[in-house]
Structure 1
Amino acid sequence: MRLAITEQYRLKTQNNIYDITGYVNAKTLANFTSAEDFIGNNIYTRGGVRDNYSNKYINEASINAMSQIIQKDLTTPLPWKPEDYIILTNGLCGSSCALITEHAAEFKNVSTVVVGGLASNNLMSYSSFTGGMVNNSTQVFNSLGELGLLNNTLMPKPYPLTGMVSSFTMKEVYSKTNPDEVLDFAFRPADFRLFYDEKNIRNVSILWSQAAALIGSK
């Protein structure tokens, strides 16, 4: 990956998954001045395996794009405060769902409620994996091809069978209040717990009402 990032920084191809130009340093909020500046010298242990990781960064390009959408479409201030909200999930909330819910709970102390799970477990997480961003093998091979690295001995080879695709995440997401906590591995227990019954399992609006009744109870 180091070689791919270095080549992308030099060649600046379009829509390449190894492009880092939209990222800024998470500590300084400054743009990275080179591929090496982005990569850094970080070794972490994940699942018992020690490996190299890049410096922590913020995807400023995505944040700016989202800010523009909000500024354009939310021209009238919303009448609700964070304490007027509650997030209801069944614990399978992952990817973008996990990013949004954990951000709201961590930054604004928005209440959370989870439904389902084993009754013998007192606590249940309202979110699962954050995942960063999902890429697939087709994107990897296409990006490597654009960089002239597809035949490099250090790079993975395309699958032998047509149509074979695998998806995976290439990024970790960290907590802002606890910068060393990787959210993919974090257990985030909900503030409240609901269980399915004969009625609410058939009518989700009942669950919404049950969750809404808990607003302000934290």
Structure 2
Amino acid sequence: MSNNIGGDDTSVSIFTTLLLFQSRKPYFFPTSININNFSIPVIKKNFDTHSDEFDFYNPYSYLSFPSGEPFKNASEFIGPLTNLTSSLHLNPLYPDELQILNRTSPFRWTSDDIIIITNGFCVDKCALLTLFLSKFYKVKTIAVGGLLDTPMSFSTNPGGSITSTNAFAYSAGDKTPDLPEINALILTIREAYDFNNDNITTGVLEYLFKPADYRLYYNESNARDPSLLWVDAANLLN
């Protein structure tokens, strides 16, 4: 999982989790998006027109948390606006992913047979996957490198999504030229949340420190041949 930037598609992390462990519900961390005077009309339009295009502001792109059921209406997705964020929701899987899961028998191994090793640069969807496996399935984690005898996280920048002022202008139908990317204002529009066994959120994942269970350190040998780190990791399982 080292030097893993994670990618854009959350369903890959969800699919991997369910492929390994198929029993738990809710099956992943919930998220919410920012709600404002711009996004509310977009949400209502997407719902009323039954849009099948993926959009941060399309209720049909998500499932409600913790039930995993589709949203009944736009208001249910928008929520009470307590913190200017939407109701909690989950990303659904693609039909072909569901088909594979339905045709796959449970694997014989357990969480005790798996260990996650990372140099800490396990970003975005990689971070969500490792955090979920660690918390709810007790998969052991190893962080490699860092400061001696100092706790180190095995993940970085878990979840969430950003957009830019250019994207807002495009969605609003603004025909003005885009600002150069270096000058465009980047905005956080989506957050991912930790939650407990009662399905109550306990904080934004971005700001929660999750240290690894074990530490390994680089030396001249494993810096040249990273496979040696897997040997050390396997020894921790035994």
TM-score range, shorter chain: 0.7 to 0.9
Aligned residues: 196
More relative contact order, 1 or 2 (CA 8 Å, 6+ apart): 2
Residue type of the partner of 1:103? F
Structure 1 position 26 matched with structure 2 position 65: yes
**Structure with max Cα Rg:** 1
For residues 73-84 of structure 1, the aligned pairs below 5 Å read 75=104, 77-84=106-113
Aligned residue type for 1:101 = T
2:24 corresponds in structure 1 to none
Q: Does 1:56 align with 2:85?
A: no
**Do 1:174 and 1:181's aligned partners in 2 also have CA atoms closer than 8 Å?**
yes
Gap change, CA 1:3 and 1:160, over 3 Å in 2: same
| Counterparts of residues 86-125 of structure 1 (less than 5 Å) | 86-119=115-148, 121=150, 123-125=151-153
TM-score by length of 1: 0.75
The structure-2 alpha-carbon separation of the partners of 1:203 and 1:136, relative to structure 1 and needing over 3 Å to count, comes to farther
Q: Which position in structure 1 is the counterpart of 2:48?
A: 10
> Cα offset for 1:53?
0.3
Query: Which region of structure 1 is more displaced relative to structure 2, 19-28 or 162-171?
Result: 162-171
Q: Equivalents in 2 of 1:209, 1:137: separation in Å?
A: 47
What residue in structure 1 maps to residue 220 of structure 2? 198
What one-letter code is carried by the residue in structure 2 that aligns with 1:179?
T
Match of 2:173 in 1: 150
**In 1, are the aligned partners of 2:116 and 2:140 still within 8 Å (CA)?**
yes
Q: Deviations over 1:36-65 (max 9, x none)?
A: 221112333xxxxxxx00011122x32765
Answer yes or no: is the 8 Å Cα contact 2:142–2:214 preserved in 1.
yes
AA matched with 1:55: S
1:63 and 1:106 map into 2 onto residues whose CA distance is 25
Compute the TM-score of the two structures, normalised by the length of structure 2.
Answer: 0.69
Distance 1:184 1:24, change over 3 A: same
Shift of 1:79: 3.3
Structure 1 contact 8–16 (Cα < 8 Å) conserved: no
Corresponding residue SS for 1:2 = helix
**8 Å contact kept, 2:51–2:60:** no
TM-fit CA distance, 1:24: 2.5
Q: Which residue of 2 aligns with 1:69?
A: 100
Q: 1:175 aligned to 2:213?
A: no
- 3-state SS in 2 of match to 1:94: coil
Which sections of structure 2, spanning at least 5 residues, go unmatched? 1-38
Give how far 1:107 is off. Answer: 1.4
